Structure 1
Amino acid sequence: MNEHNNAVIHQVQHLENNLGDPTQETSVINFARSVTIDEQQMFPREYLNHLHSLNYFDRFVPHSLGGSLSDFSELLMACRLVSRRDLNAAIASGQTMLGALPVWLCGSDAQKKRLSSHILQGHLGCLALTEKKHGSNLLASEVTATVDQDGYRLNGEKWLINNATQGHTMTLLVRKIEPNGRESLAVMLLDKAQLSDYESIEKISTHGIRCADISGIRFHNTLVAKDCLIETTEPGIFGVLKALQISRILCAGFSLGAFDTCLRVTYEFAQNRALYQKTVLSMPTVQQGLGRSFAKLLLAEMLATASIRAVSHASRSLSMYSAACKYWVPRQTELALDELKVILGARYYLREEHFHGIFQKMLRDNAVVSLFDGSSQVNLGLISAQTNAISAQLLATPNCHEQLNQWFNLDESKPFAALDQQQFAINNAGQDPILSSFLAYFGDSSHNHLPPSVMTQCLILKQHILSWCDDVQTLQQSEQNEPTSVVRFNKAKQYTTLLSAACCALFIIHNETHPLLGNADIATDLLSLALNDDDMWQPSKALLEALDDQNQQHKLFSLFPISLAK
């Protein structure tokens, strides 16, 4: 493990220890309190203040601006640790990072300094994009910023904005109108304490994350200063789209945290509950469900880890990876929780009793993850629009990425360079370094070091990728080649599965001595599940033992060595 990666693990472990055991009411953030405030729909101010006291908000500010952000992998893991306790607090604080990303990418030095000061003080922020009439169609945004001699006059309404009322700062997408009538989409950084002539739209009740401030803002000829405008050499919307490429991957931390807690409480139940003169855990179908969930959690972690590391290793390819991660991780979490709730039985539905009813809360809260930062449909559309170019390049010239080992070796970690919008791109331009590297790696038969069962699964995956490429290319001659067609969306879904399987294979290849990935049976389990998740899949004894071992040793269900707080 290199020095930087060791420091990342140390910082994450330090946060976990300071957060305390969420099953104990002596911890500030605990399951009993979370369920109570959720029932009362109370904004988790106490939780957020506690996170600020632990310097959690420092992780949202780049090191160069006085914060501690230098590796997005650490932020992903930190978000996961907060999320396993309470998604309300994790999402409210995460929204602050979402609002900051366009500023870190495109803002002036003065704007960056101003925002970093707010965040380091624990002030919440938000990204105000959506409007009731237009939903995720950002290009149709109607909130206007008309040039005025004293600055800009804002008019219009933003809706379904997390932290819109509780947030101190707001990063706002507007339609800027010049004196000559010319219009363009632009982004502004607002300090709400400096504004007048606006009103907050009251909190909107939601099925999950009930404590969250899902509200909005309405502008009435509101005057803002000229220096609120984030001026860039590219269209303003580009900075937002590039920021979302990072935030969509970080959203995986929400699902991974909820997934960990739901698997843990279900495993504890199955281990201790006796039915028909034996424990629930001893039943083959229960072992299958728990083993499948554990394997899916590891697969989701690998896709999220590979994607977030791409910020440092392949930032110009994030448009595909972020969309795939944002679709696949929440979706697999939802499927796994549906299986776990069958094992948990009636207790999954209770709002008290078993672990204070945290399972049903996590189930509801996690459902929102697939909706924000671009819904599943939006992300599949982003993928679908690029599959023609990606498949053509994969069939033509697959090449291994020059930093592949550092990218996929879990003992390695690389901090990002200073965030700059020029490092990112709106689309992949036909490049997919992960699938390309996988195909190039298996371009010959000189891989005898892989166990036969693992090699078999990798060759099956190779064939699936090539078949997918052929199918996509053939579709171009079809009437169903429209990016939003059912067939193209299906190919986009298949892409996310192939990408997750390829990430799994590359992590296995580059971590031969890892206690889980270095085990041939576990590695085979993971690849076979990624390729064919059907009702006949069964976990190996080794996978079930690994699950039990991590539970017994009070470890995070993870490939990383994180001990849970006691």
Structure 2
Amino acid sequence: MRSEVSPRAELTPAHRIAADLDGYLGDPMDDDAGPFSYKDIVEAEERDELPRGAVETVRAWGFPEYLVPVQLGGRLATLEELFFVTRGISRRSLTIAVMYGSGLLAVNPVWMWGDSRQQKIVADGILRGDLACFGVSEADHGSDVMACEAAASGRIGEDEDSLVLNGTKWPVGNATRGRFVTTYAKTGARDFSLLLVDKDELDPATWSVLPPVRTLGLRGHDLSGIAFENARLPGECVVGRRGAGLVQTLKTLQITRTAIAALSIGTMDAVVRIGMEYSRERTLYGAGIYQIPVIRDHLVKAHLDLLIAECMAIPVARALTVAPGRLSLWSSIVKYFVPVQGEEVVASIGAVLAARGYLREGVAHGVFQKLQRDHAIASIFEGTTHVNLANVAAQLPFLIVDQVEPEPSDEMLADLFSWTRTPPTWEPDGRKLQLTNEGHDEIGRQYEATAETLLSTARVFAAPDVAADLATLVSRIGDLRAELHASVREDPEDITSAAALRRAKRYCELHAMVSVMLTWIHNHAEFGGSFADGAWLVLCLQRLLERAQPDTGLSEEYLPSVETVMFRCFEEGRWFTLTELADGDRSIEIPGR
């Protein structure tokens, strides 16, 4: 990834860090790029293994350091940085990204609630290359954490000041390879706690790992389980306050739900690149297939979906240190919307590849079928699509009916959406995360003010036709928003029906539309060029409106400027990203133009 934006625009450190990793790992399309080439990745997939040397390669670069906060000797300063490097790995190997994502889920409770001894032990281990896992799920209970059967008995402060743990956790990522097991267990009649289990300190006779689970995708990932039988733990193994495990778990998921969007965006980048390569090489009926209207439509819309996902996910990643109290809602919106977009993009590129997409060889060594299978996990773990929609649905009455007075948020929105503002450094503190937004949503609640700012600014900075078209789009979006608000007010008690989930889905779509608008508002002056012209903005809003109004369609006159950047990013090996719109409109060949 190389970003050469306007001289006035200096991107945050996250972009530079990701560019360094991208250069280090090499071009996955290059057969000689080592363990992160698609050739090696697919060959390892056939053996149900990780590519030889892949883990050592990311360790040598220093990826585990981005799982440990800077205060504890690591390099994790902001979630934005971890988000970007995860995206870089995901466009090559989702399996490696998920391995470390499972570790992130396990260690975050220690960073936010653990004592200094626990933090030092875990930080030292992770920095040395140890893995961690989060033992929450149980075979008979899934995400029903209140039904947890694993239990730790004993009284801290009496007898031997220890707990005895019994129970089985399954399925668990990194359960076999991981040294640390952050274990969710019952510690009272209605109390649940998180326990830091260090396998190195346990009697080997008191624990065992379960056989690997065979999965559709992520082959080579350690998905297994762990069973404890009278495992004696020191009383000081409790993470934070005893009995706080349920709240800790729900808050921890807010961070990893946000990070999962990086898996989807990385996948989108990979499959769009594969589809474009095929469209440049494949000839049918005497011409390249990009000239076939439906092929062009698939590729352009997939590219727009990726840009929309960036507009949504990056601000929420930044929210961990800018507005952590909003993550209960925003993380669920992103966790629902971006993986669903990713699934749609993968399916769309599958239509471009047609029969070639079904093969385990050929185009990009057949990696498409692996990416397709691997990405299926994104909508499942850390709360399924329906779980996250249910969380949004439960909060809608408070956001729409029982509204709180909005607080001034211009500075907050600038910190969230400006790609040249570096977010504050993360100082882990679980108290800053909340279980609900309590009616607050600075992104979605202030639509009228955002729309007014957009239109007044577009009249000055955007192309004339763009400003006029934005006025029409803003009006249509406002109508959709009014319809949603009226529907919620009709029956504010209904938060669980299929209709309630449909309303939640519409709220997520509106959140995406406003995020696209705010991204332009807070970056057009710095980036200039095609970014400021706003053609991409119109196209992204039209693309989102297609979800509610399928006959919307894309404005043909705005496509060339976006296509130019799309093809340049492909040919020069750059990420598909909005920042590239600031890099001028150098001439490039577009098939059929």
Aligned amino acid, residue 504 of structure 1: V
1:130 aligns with 2:140: no
Shift of 1:262: 0.6
What is the distance in 2 between the residues matched to 1:87 and 1:236?
A: 29
3-state SS, counterpart of residue 154 of structure 2:
strand
User: CA-to-partner distance for each residue in 1:230-271, whole Å, 9 max, x for gaps?
Assistant: 123872211111111011010111111111111101101011
8 Å contact 1:143–1:154 — kept in the other structure?
yes
User: Which residue is equivalent to 1:72?
Assistant: 79
Alignment match, 2:186? 175
| 8 Å Cα contact 1:199/1:219 also seen in 2 | yes
The alignment status of 1:491 with 2:503, answered yes or no, reads yes
Q: Residue 172 of structure 1 aligns to a residue in which SS?
A: strand
The letter for the 1-side match of 2:350 is K
> 1:95, 1:396 → 2: CA distance?
38
- Post-superposition CA distance 1:114-151 (Å, at most 9, x none): 11111101111111111111111112111001115331
Q: Residue 29 of structure 2: which of 23, 29, 50 is its match?
A: 23
Q: Which structure 1 segments of 5+ residues have no match?
A: none
Match of 2:238 in 1: 229
1:259 to 1:549, Cα distance in 2 relative to 1, 3 A: same
Distance in structure 1 (CA, Å) of the matches to 2:257 and 2:131: 19
Structure-2 change in CA distance of 1:211 and 1:237 (3 Å): same
Q: What SS does the corresponding residue of 1:433 show, helix, strand or coil?
A: coil
- 1:170 alignment partner, SS class: strand
Distance 2:111 2:510 in 1: 32
Q: Aligned partners of 2:218, 2:530: CA distance in 1, in Å?
A: 34
- State whether structure 2 residue 33 is matched by structure 1 residue 14: no
Indicate how the Cα distance of structure 1 residues 126 and 387 shifts in structure 2: closer, same or farther if over 3 A, else same.
same
- Structure 2's unaligned 5+ residue stretches are 1-6, 584-593
1:505 corresponding residue in structure 2: 517
Give the corresponding residue for 2:63. Answer: 56
Indicate if the aligned counterparts of 1:320 and 1:383 stay in contact, CA closer than 8 A: yes
Please state if 1:475 is matched with 2:486. no
Distance 1:367 1:274, change over 3 A: same
Deviation at 1:452, TM superposition (A): 2.0
Percent identity for Structure 1 against Structure 2: 28
* Cα distance change, pair 132–377 in 1 and its aligned pair in 2 (3 A): same
Supply the distance in 2 between the matched residues of 1:82 and 1:475 (Cα, whole angstroms).
45
> Does the aligned pair in 1 maintain the 2:333–2:389 contact within 8 Å?
yes
Q: CA deviation at 1:401?
A: 4.1
Q: Which amino acid aligns with 1:337?
A: V
Which of 139, 146, 155 matches 2:153?
A: 146
Match of 2:472 among 456, 469, 476: 456
Q: Relative to 1, partners in 2 of residues 1:324 and 1:79: Cα closer, same or farther, differing over 3 Å? A: same
Match of 2:286 in 1: 277
Report the Cα distance in structure 2 between the residues aligned to 1:307 and 1:225, rounded to whole angstroms: 37
Corresponding position: 1:546 with 2:565: yes
Aligned residue number for residue 257 of structure 1: 266
Q: Distance in 2 between matches of 1:456 and 1:545?
A: 26
The equivalent of 1:92 in structure 2 is 99
- Distance verdict in 2 for CA 1:299–1:234, change over 3 Å: farther
Q: Which amino acid aligns with 2:510?
A: L
Q: Given residue 63 of structure 1, which amino acid in structure 2 is its aligned partner?
A: V
CA distance in 2, matches of 1:523, 1:546: 14
1:398 positional shift:
7.8
**Cα deviation per residue 1:140-180 (whole Å; 9 max; x = unaligned)?**
11100111533111111111111111111111111013xxx
Q: Is the 8 A contact 2:177 2:222 kept in 1?
A: yes
The aligned amino acid for 1:250 is A
RMSD of aligned alpha carbons? 2.2
TM-score by length of 2: 0.89
Task: Give, in whole Å, the separation in 2 of the partners of 1:394 and 1:552.
Answer: 49
Q: Which residues of 2 match residues 51-450 of structure 1 at below 5 A?
A: 51-147=58-154, 149-150=159-160, 151-177=162-188, 182-196=189-203, 197-232=206-241, 235-392=244-401, 397=406, 400-442=409-451, 446-447=456-457, 448-449=459-460
Equivalent AA in structure 2 for residue 161 of structure 1: V
Tell me if structure 2 keeps the 8 A contact 1:394–1:436.
no
> 1:45, 1:272 → 2: CA distance?
30
CA displacement 1:342-375 (0-9 Å, x = unmatched): 1111110111111111101000000011111111
After superposition, the Cα gap between the structure-2 partners of 1:411 and 1:194, relative to the gap in structure 1 and judged at 3 Å, is same
Shift in Å, 1:44: 5.2
CA contact (8 A) 2:12 2:419 kept: no
Contact 2:325 2:433 in 1 (8 A): yes
- Deviation, structure 1 residue 455: 3.2
Name which of structure 1's ranges 155-164 and 541-550 shifts more when overlaid on structure 2.
541-550
Work out whether residues 131 and 141 of structure 1, in 8 Å CA contact, stay in contact via their aligned partners in 2: yes
2:513 partner amino acid: A
1:4–1:414 contact (8 Å) kept in structure 2: no
Give the AA of the match of 1:140: A
Tell me the CA shift for residue 3 of structure 1. 10
Deviation at 1:5, TM superposition (A): 4.4
Distance 1:192 1:285, change over 3 A: same
Structure 1 residues 44 and 222: alpha-carbon distance in aligned structure 2, compared to 1, 3 A threshold:
farther
Question: Are 2:406 and 2:442, in contact at CA under 8 Å, matched by a contact in 1?
Answer: no
User: In structure 2, what residue type is equivalent to 1:9?
Assistant: H
- Matched residue type, 1:499: H
- Residue identity matched to 1:506: L
Structure 2 CA distance for partners of 1:194 and 1:44, relative to 1, 3 Å: farther
Q: Could you tell me how far apart the structure 2 residues matched to 1:443 and 1:527 are? A: 16
Query: Does the Cα contact within 8 Å between 2:14 and 2:84 map onto a contact in 1?
Result: no
Q: After TM superposition, give the deviation of residue 88 of structure 1 in Å.
A: 0.7
**Between Structure 1 and Structure 2, how many residues are aligned?**
555
3-state SS of 1:367 partner: helix
**8 Å contact from structure 2 (residues 183, 194) kept in 1:** yes
Letter in 1 for 2:534: A
Kept in 2: contact 1:400–1:440 (CA 8 A) = no
Is 1:528 aligned with 2:528? no
Question: Partner of 1:429: helix, strand, or coil?
Answer: coil
Alpha-carbon separation, structure 2, partners of 1:128 and 1:345: 40
CA distance in 2, matches of 1:384, 1:371: 18
- Tell me, in whole angstroms, the C-alpha distance in 1 between the residues paired with 2:567 and 2:11: 26
Whether contact under 8 Å (1:303, 1:325) holds in the other structure is yes
TM-aligned CA distance change 1:232 to 1:34, over 3 Å: same
Q: Does structure 1 conserve the Cα–Cα contact (< 8 Å) formed by 2:195 and 2:237?
A: yes
Contact 2:192 2:243 in 1 (8 A): no
CA distance in 2 between partners of 1:376 and 1:55 (Å): 32
How many Å separate the matches in 1 of 2:242 and 2:530? 47
TM superposition shift of 1:101: 0.9
8 Å CA contact retained: 1:126, 1:171? yes
Shift of 1:36: 1.6
Instruction: Give the 3 Å change call, closer, same or farther, for CA 453–384 of structure 1 in structure 2.
Output: same
Whether the 8 Å contact between 1:401 and 1:437 is mirrored in structure 2 is: no
Taking the aligned partners of 2:468 and 2:409, their CA distance within structure 1 comes to 23
